Amino acid sequence: MQDNSNEKEPSRDVSDPLVDENEQKRDDKPSNFKDIEAVLDHLGGAGRYNLLVLAAAAFFNVFTGMITLSANFTSAGVPFNCSDFGLDNVTLPADCQSSAATNASSTAIDSQCSVTFNCSSAMTEKLDKSDSLKLRTFDCQAFEFSETGMFLETAVSRFGLVCQRAWMSNLATTFYFVGFLFGCSVYGALADRFGRQKMALVSLINIIVCTIAASQAPLLWLYWSLQLLTGLGIGGFMSSTFSLALESTTPAYRNIWGMGLHNGWTIGIYLGTLIAYFERRYNFLLLYYGLTVLAAIPPVLLLSESPRWLVSTRRYKQADSVLQRIARINRRSLGDDNFSSEIIALRDKSASTGDEGISVLQLLKQPNMRLVTCIVWVMFFNVSMAYYGIWLAMGNLGGSIYRNQLIAATIEIPSRLLGMLASYRINRRVTIIVTYGCAGVCLAATAFLFGESHLSVARISTAMTGKFWVLIAFDLTWLYSAEVFPTVVRSLGVGTGSTFARAGAMISTLVPGLGVFWRPLPFLIFSIGPLLVVLLALAVPETRGRRLPNSMEDGERLAKTSRCCRRRRQQAQDISDGGGDIEL
């Protein structure tokens, strides 16, 4: 490209409201761009356009957080009484005495699920004719649900998910997370093929239609199916918008961008709790949630497609248009009117050195890398199960679920701030041990406080403190996984870790139900995982302040530094200093 310093600067399109017509001309004229990353670096990673994309992605997270944690209101228990034990056609001797066998949930302790008759003489032929002393239990056939409690109607009361069917009460949430798990993969693949913006719009419509349809579902199987499809859309929407946001900035800002996106999730919890406080019927609540998500459609339509994706799929004309728009909004210049991303892509020698044939087996092929990979998977699974498990157990802590939900959401703000500071100041391995250890201890303490009903304040306090540490551990796990995996398999490593996180979330929906056997059991289960990670963290390498591994060989050498001995620490120093090779 020849020097065009004597040519006039290309005119800016001042029709865009974000472009200042009287803006002072810049002196930093770009020269030859060696690759597309250089173009994006020149445009700026934290310009006005990038901040708009970040704000939009955080806004999208408002709706995903609101819907994901709606199960605390839509699947909550409702006090009930049995209206029919099926005794109309049964004749009992006069000396039979009944005793209520109450097997109801914790929200309906005084309600009957079954009734047992103790008869000292032979029963009539219709009942039994085998023993002179007989106990006979009759299960409830019909229920009457109270409309004077905290909730007027939930899916539990709508479909009679109590007593013998109580184990089904959380299955809607389980199906939701199953859909969430597959949504990340299905829509993620579609977004790689058809574009992030298009799939964000499709998944958003998916969410709206299925959420509104679920509010009107007359059958339990249909309600479960629509919850699964809603989770599918949420997973797709989150993965598409997350990729779009991170691909809009430069590597220097990606950590901040990734953490900033989650603030929308916290706002969504506030909004969802507020709506649920004023609407106590689950069907109208889901309807309002679905209608609220309509507000996300305009921002999706106004966003541009990811320029990185456009260049990688050789849609160069579209990429040029998007890059020019970003340049105008960020008040930058791309040099001349003949700017072409196609020429830059052809000039980039590394663009054609893709890693075809990469599979999950690559992560497990070498021994030290295999150990680190498995530990990262365990970290993702356990921290996700603890995080979502605490959220889904809010109603079991005592007190108002609305108050508990708001406290838990408020805790996320200082938790993320402390996590961000810790990521810059403290070594990763130390932070992992401290955060997971504190989380495990607090959750175990919460479990043993369930034995005394008058300790509800202490129980809520320890649970919220545990959630504080769990959230830091969760964010740290994402950051650590992005640092420990080599470049050639980094997306694969983080992606498989995300899959284990979704699996942990799915399992967490079933754990609170174990409280009917022993009330401390759910929180004991949530505490075991983080405490296990504390032990495993002794075998992971330190990554803070080190150059990121590029090849599988780099990753294996980094993984070997996890051994606690002087020779391994010396090897770690060699890697950090960029010294000689480490013998495998």
Q: How confident is the model at residue 359 (pLDDT cuts 50, 70, 90)?
A: low
- The percent of the chain in helix, strand and coil, each rounded to the nearest 5, is 65, 5, 30
The domains found in the chain, sorted by start residue, are 30-86+149-348 (1.20.1250.20), 366-568 (1.20.1250.20)
Termini Cα distance of the chain: 46
Q: What is the pLDDT of residue 187?
A: 83
Q: How confident is the model at residue 357 (pLDDT cuts 50, 70, 90)?
A: low
The helix or strand, by DSSP H or E, that contains position 117, with its residue range, turns out to be strand 114-119
Q: What is the pLDDT of residue 99?
A: 55
Give the range among 206-220, 331-345, 559-573 with minimum mean pLDDT: 559-573
Q: What is the pLDDT of residue 102?
A: 39
Q: Can you give the length of the chain in residues? A: 584
When pLDDT is averaged across residues 377-394 and rounded to a whole number, the result is: 91
Residue environment code for 337-357, b if the CB has 16+ CB neighbours within 10 A, otherwise e: eebebeebbeebeeeeeeeee
Separation between Cα atoms, residue 115 and residue 111, nearest integer Å: 11
Q: How confident is the model over 2-53, as pLDDT tens digits?
A: 444 444 443 444 444 334 444 434 434 444 666 667 777 777 777 888 888 8
pTM of the shown model: 0.77
Please tell me whether residue 96 adopts helix, strand or coil conformation: coil
Separation between Cα atoms, residue 171 and residue 238, nearest integer Å: 22
> Between 266 and 491, where is the model more confident?
266
Q: How confident is the model at residue 96 (pLDDT cuts 50, 70, 90)?
A: low
Which tokens hold the place of 512?
């609170």
Nearest Cα residue to 449 out of 515, 525, 510, 523: 523
Q: How confident is the model at residue 421 (pLDDT cuts 50, 70, 90)?
A: confident
Separation between Cα atoms, residue 158 and residue 285, nearest integer Å: 14
Position 131 pLDDT exceeds 80 = no
* Mean model confidence pLDDT for the chain: 77
Please tell me whether residue 9 adopts helix, strand or coil conformation: coil
Q: How confident is the model at residue 120 (pLDDT cuts 50, 70, 90)?
A: low
* Dihedral angle of Cα 423, 426, 429, 434, to the nearest 10 degrees: -90
Q: What is the pLDDT of residue 88?
A: 64
Q: How confident is the model at residue 566 (pLDDT cuts 50, 70, 90)?
A: very low
| Contact present, 529 and 382 (Cβ < 8 Å) | yes
Q: What is the pLDDT of residue 100?
A: 47
Q: What is the pLDDT of residue 555?
A: 76
Q: What is the pLDDT of residue 35?
A: 65
Position 420 pLDDT exceeds 70 = yes
When pLDDT is averaged across residues 322-340 and rounded to a whole number, the result is: 75
Which tokens hold the place of 209?
């239609």
Q: How confident is the model at residue 563 (pLDDT cuts 50, 70, 90)?
A: low
Give the range among 2-11, 337-346, 520-529 with minimum mean pLDDT: 2-11
Q: How confident is the model at residue 531 (pLDDT cuts 50, 70, 90)?
A: very high
Q: What is the pLDDT of residue 483?
A: 78
Q: How confident is the model at residue 356 (pLDDT cuts 50, 70, 90)?
A: very low
